[in-house]
Structures are given as structure tokens and as C-alpha cells.
Structure 1
Amino acid sequence: MLNIDVEEIQLPLAHITLAAKRYGQADKPVILALHGWLDNVDSFIPLAQAFAQQGLFDKFQLMCIDWPGHGLSDHRPGRYPLHWVDYIYDLQAVIHTLSQETGPIILLGHSLGGIVASAYNACVADNIHKLILIEALAPLSESATQAKDRLRKGLQQQQRFNRQLARATPTYSSMDIAIQARHQLTGLALPWCEIITKRNMAVTDGHYSWRSDPRLKLDSLNRYTFEQVDALMTISDTPSLLIVGHDGFKQLTASTEQANNWFSNIDIVHLAGDHHLHMGNAEQVAKSIGAFILNSR
């Protein structure tokens, strides 16, 4: 493993404090990395190692943030359900903080992080120099006919969740048990589960418990229709890179042709790997990113 400059930092925003990791030197242009659902900044460790091998830290720094309720970041207050659009407000605050020192940034997002990044870029592209999406393209959508069932089921789920909160927080006797639990929940390969789980766990008197906000497992009460997503996404001229795994989300693979309708300047790369190919195939992902960000366009 290469020796990389890495720093744990705190970002005290007006509404919440987020934890982050910086790889490389603080005076370099920023690549801001946004992780996926139930992940954290450590999901970018393999990619950071691959960046170092390619010498990208000679020209850039990699700033990775823990979303609220993930990793070491604060949780949102209260017990109300969480919504993906709230992350756009967090992102706006982070970019405003960073851009005062660095100017426009390169925005990189995986999965949920990519969804948030693409939606933000669609509305506030002036702050984005380049956009990199890994296994993500745009906000998820569904038919308007699903709205009533989604809201009703979401409220029922919230009621069950509130009853669960009255019980004692479940704990594990070892980290390995928690890692296996994450593996069974998401199907993520065990080595990557270990990397991510360790940052998402708290240890008290030798017992392990999830640090993550339990509300993250609740379904959204609302989802855009395709017409809303299409209106939001049309059309961006930000230089963009979409990286898709051969064994990633099939819905994403089927919709990549839509990317050319939403982005006037986009490269689409298909690589070996699953939904977390930036971990399992970090070298090839880093090569694709390096070629893209070093391009003068």
C-alpha cells in the first residue's frame, strides 16, 4: 500500500457538521467524492490508492465527505423520514465552503452520491468544472400511479420504525458479525464490507453497534416521475464521465442511452465490475478518471 497524505477533517456547516477525509495536498484543485447509500468515505480508499499509483495527487486532492448519518458525520435531528433531496442542500453548503478557496471543483459521485451530484449539476453547474458519475446517472423515477402506495407504505413503515426505536439498540460481540450482517444486507463483497463497516460502527464496553442513522433504511415517501427527472436533467453541457459496471445495476445499463439526451458532452465507459467497481476494479476506474480530468476540454 502506498504512503499517501491523508487527513481526517471536520466541515462545520451552518446546519450540520460533516466528517471528511482529504487525500493529497490542500492547495491542489479539489475532486469532491460523494459516497453511496450506507457507505462512507472509506469506500474510496481503493480509488485513492489507485490515484496515488497514477500520480494524480501531484495535480489534485481528493476530498471525500461522509453524508449525514453515515460514517463519522452528525445525524440529522429529529425522527422525521430522510429524503435524498436533502443531500443536495448538504452538497451546496460543502461546495460553497470549498469553492471559496479552490474555485470550481471536479464532482465525483457513486450511486446515491452520483444521483445527488447529477441533480446538483443540473441546477448549479457554474460551481462544477467536471462531473464524474460511477454507477449513477440521475434521480430514480417511477410512474405517478405509484405515488399513493409509496406514501401509504412509507407511513406504515415509519410507524413500525418508531416502535423499534423504543427497544434497546442491537449490539454485536465482534466486528466480524457486523461485517457479515452488512454483507447479507447488500451483497457487497466481504473485503469491501470490512473497509466500510469499520467506520460505520461504534464500540462501547467491547460491544459493537451501528453508528449509522437507522432512518437510512426507510423507503422514500416520494419519488419523481420520469417527466420530472427529464425536465430536471435536460440539458447539461458540463464535461461529464459516466462509468458503468458490467455487473452493476441493470436499470442503469439499460438507461445509459438516455445520458446522451441529458448531457451534451459526456463520455460513457463500461468496465468489469459490479455496483462497487470503484473498489473492486479501482485501477481501471482510476485510469478512466485520470484520462478524463487531465483532458484540457
Structure 2
Amino acid sequence: MLNVNVAEIQLPLAHITLAAKRYGDASKPMILALHGWLDNADSFIPLAQAFADQGLFDTFQLMCIDWPGHGLSDHRPGRYPLHWVDYIYDLQAVIHAIAQDTGPIILLGHSLGGIVASAYNACLAENIHKLILIEALAPLSESSSQAKDRLRKGLLQQQRFNRQLARPAPTYSSMDVAVQARHQLTGLALPWCALITKRNMALTDGQYHWRSDPRLKLDSLNRFTFDQVDALMTTSDTPSLLIIGHDGYKQLTASTDQANKWFTHIEIVHLSGDHHLHMGNAQQVAESIGAFILNSR
């Protein structure tokens, strides 16, 4: 049981309404947490518990948003393909909506959330006090020679997807069946699948179905080249923390030299755990974050 105030809130932005959870006192400096692809705000529950155990809510509040199409947030209108850069616009709108009440924001992102956070920081670092990246570093990149093939495959995939929308959406007789489906798809440990799945599901006429926007599973139509990512990321003076799981994405371990080139003040911490180590190893992750954010605030 969390010994801290938890509030479900709505953020009515100009273009969409997002759901969020706030932990702690709304008057304290904010840690704004951005979840990963197909996750939601509840993926930060273990970390919030660890923050409470370590007394971090004496000094900070934690706000965890649901990205559009995830959790309890609205879906983007229409049926057009989704683009990862749109999340940067969402983040800018969220920060504008809350910044006047919170002061300097510490931005925390996991996976997709970390990619968005690092790209936003690269462009508007003046809005960010400190940056925390968990299993993420920068936007993904690929060779320019793959641009035509990626766009062609994406458009054909979209055609097939539009036909699938005419079919009944899958339903589940129990939440456990949906949790198992998530586990089989991602390999994420069952307790964490249960946390995330519950917020991503709805119950209608005794049957569970996904609330998540089905377009989230479509491939991106384009991706930056490395030269574009390098130009975007060079160079940030924001005090930053990069947390990498020993069993997480291997390319992150190989990217530490690049991280030191892109960030002039970065701490890199390797901890036991997989890509979701902020859930499975929340205490050590919270300890690393606490040491980082309490040092020379």
C-alpha cells in the first residue's frame, strides 16, 4: 500500500485530453514520467512505491501520463498512421499546461518515453531541469537506403489494417486471458503484465477488450538517419542520468560512448534487470534516481 496521496487526473490539452496519475503533493517540484510503447502510467507503480520507501515524496511529486491511445487517454482522431514525433508535440502541450504550477521539471522517460524525452530536451532544454532516461537514449535511426522500403511496407500494412478494422475486435472472458496474451506477445513478467494490462482494458457486456489504439502496432512510415539523430542530439548541457539494464536492449550498452558525446553532464548506471527494470528492480532504480535528483538540486 502506497503511503502517499495518489490522484487520477485529466489534462485537457488543446488537441486531445490525456489521463495521468499524480503521486504526492501537487505543490512540490515535479518529476514528469513518460511510459514506453504499449505501456501506460501504471508501469510506474513499482517505481512510485520505491520512491515512497525512500522518502522522495517529501521533496518531489511524480506525475505519470498516459500517452494518446494508451491507458485512459483519448485516441488521436481519424485513421491516419501514427508518428512518434507527434508525442513530442504532446509533451510540449503537457509541459505548457503544468509548468506554471510546478517550477523546473525533471523529465523521466522509459523506452519510447525516453526517446521522446531526449528529443524534446535536445530542442527545448530550457524547459527541463534534469533528464532521466531508462533503457532509452535517442530517436532510432536507420540508413537512408531503407526509406523507400519502409514507406512502401508501411502503406501496404496500413491497407491490411484498414480491412481488419471491419472485423469484430477480439474480446476476452477474463482479465487473466488478456494478461497471458500480453505476456506471450512481449515476454514481460506476468505481475508487470497484469499492472499494465488492467489500465489498458475495458469491460463491456461481461467481456474485456483492449482500450489501446490498434494503430499503435503499425510500423513507422519513416525513420531518421543517424546523421539526423546526431545533428538533433548534439550537444546537451542538461544534467542527465541514463539507466541501462544488464538484460535490456544490447544496443544501449554499446551506445555509452555516443551518450558521452551527446551529453556534457551525464551519469550512466548499469543495473540488474531487463528492459522494464524500473518495474522488476524498482528499488535500485529509485536509489539511482534519488541520488541523482537530490544532488545539487
With normalisation by structure 2, the TM-score equals 0.99
- Contact 1:147–1:222, Cα closer than 8 Å, also in 2: yes
Distance in 1 of aligned mates of 2:41 and 2:217: 19
Distance in 2 of aligned mates of 1:252 and 1:194: 27
Given the alignment of the two structures, is residue 149 of structure 1 paired with residue 152 of structure 2, yes or no? no
Q: Please, which runs of 5 or more residues in structure 2 have no aligned partner?
A: none
Distance in 2 of aligned mates of 1:229 and 1:289: 26
Residue identity (%)? 87
| Secondary structure class of the residue paired with 2:118 | helix
Residue 216 of structure 1 corresponds to 216
Residue 122 of structure 1 corresponds to 122
Cα offset, 1:3, TM superposition:
2.1
Residue 61 of structure 1 corresponds to 61
Residue 256 of structure 2 corresponds to 256
Residue 180 of structure 1 corresponds to 180
Given the alignment of the two structures, is residue 38 of structure 1 paired with residue 34 of structure 2, yes or no? no
Structure 1 residue identity aligned to 2:237 = D
Residue 278 of structure 1 corresponds to 278
Distance in 2 of aligned mates of 1:256 and 1:266: 10
Residue 75 of structure 1 corresponds to 75
Residue 20 of structure 2 corresponds to 20
**Root mean square deviation, CA, Å:** 0.6
Cα offset, 1:256, TM superposition:
1.8
Cα offset, 1:2, TM superposition:
3.3
With normalisation by structure 1, the TM-score equals 0.99
- Contact 1:23–1:62, Cα closer than 8 Å, also in 2: yes
Residue 138 of structure 2 corresponds to 138
Cα offset, 1:203, TM superposition:
0.2
Matches within 5 A, 1:171-250: 171-250=171-250
The structure 1 segments of at least 4 consecutive aligned residues displaced by more than 4 Å after TM superposition are none
Residue 47 of structure 1 corresponds to 47
Distance in 2 of aligned mates of 1:30 and 1:187: 32
- Contact 1:104–1:126, Cα closer than 8 Å, also in 2: no
Structure 2 residue identity aligned to 1:73 = S
Q: Please, which runs of 5 or more residues in structure 1 have no aligned partner?
A: none
Structure 1 residue identity aligned to 2:37 = W
| Secondary structure class of the residue paired with 2:264 | coil
Structure 2 residue identity aligned to 1:187 = G
| Secondary structure class of the residue paired with 2:254 | helix
Distance in 2 of aligned mates of 1:195 and 1:103: 31
Residue 106 of structure 1 corresponds to 106
Given the alignment of the two structures, is residue 265 of structure 1 paired with residue 274 of structure 2, yes or no? no
Distance in 1 of aligned mates of 2:139 and 2:35: 15
Structure 1 residue identity aligned to 2:138 = A
Structure 1 residue identity aligned to 2:104 = P
- Contact 1:4–1:24, Cα closer than 8 Å, also in 2: yes
